[in-house]
Amino acid sequence: MVNIVLVEPKIAPNTGTIGRLCVNMGASLHLVEPLGFEIDDTKLKRAGLDYWHKLNPKIWPSLEAFMKEKAQERLWLATTKTETPYFEAQFLPGDYLLFGSETTGLPEALLKKYPNRSITIPMVPEGRSLNISISVGIVAYEAVRQNFDQFKG
């Protein structure tokens, strides 16, 4: 359906939860190093439960390596630094949904390079950010909603 890209994720249980989500929605998971945990971390696999063996995530050595190969793909950058809500994006099967680390988000230079591909989840003014696994679920299932005919097979 779509590709979920976690750029330098730091928290194993978040990544495990996102992995489980990917398996259940037919998405591919891409992890961009450095990671804040080992890929065989028990917390990662516990959060992914019995889904982790079905996932087969693609590991990228750096954001530069990922962008060198995927820069021409349809990329969507999730960030709190834009006004464009995610539900205004027109998602297509095969799109890449990028999410930054839990502590720093996506690099500013990347956001500046793709200003028309930056999307956000609206929050009240007092809100700062959502847990990354919740954010991935919100945006990814909007892509499913928009492409439901292809999703259900």
Domains of the chain: 3-151 (3.40.1280.10)
Question: What is the rounded CA–CA span in Å between residue 132 and residue 11?
Answer: 10
The pLDDT value given to residue 18? 94
Classify residue 83 by its DSSP letter.
Answer: S
- Indicate if the alpha-carbon torsion angle 65, 30, 128, 141 is positive or negative: positive
The pLDDT of residue 128 is: 81
pLDDT value at residue 41 = 58
Residue segments in the chain with a per-residue pLDDT below the cut of 70 = 41, 43-50, 151-153
pLDDT at 81: 93
- What does the pLDDT read at residue 43? 66
pLDDT reported for residue 111: 97
pLDDT at position 47 is: 59
Query: Which two three-digit tokens encode residue 138?
Result: 């919100």
Three-state DSSP class for residue 64 = helix
pLDDT of residue 39: 81
The pLDDT, as a whole number, for residue 54 is: 86
3/117 Cα distance (integer angstroms): 15
Helix, strand or coil, per DSSP, at residue 73: coil
DSSP-assigned letter for residue 33: S
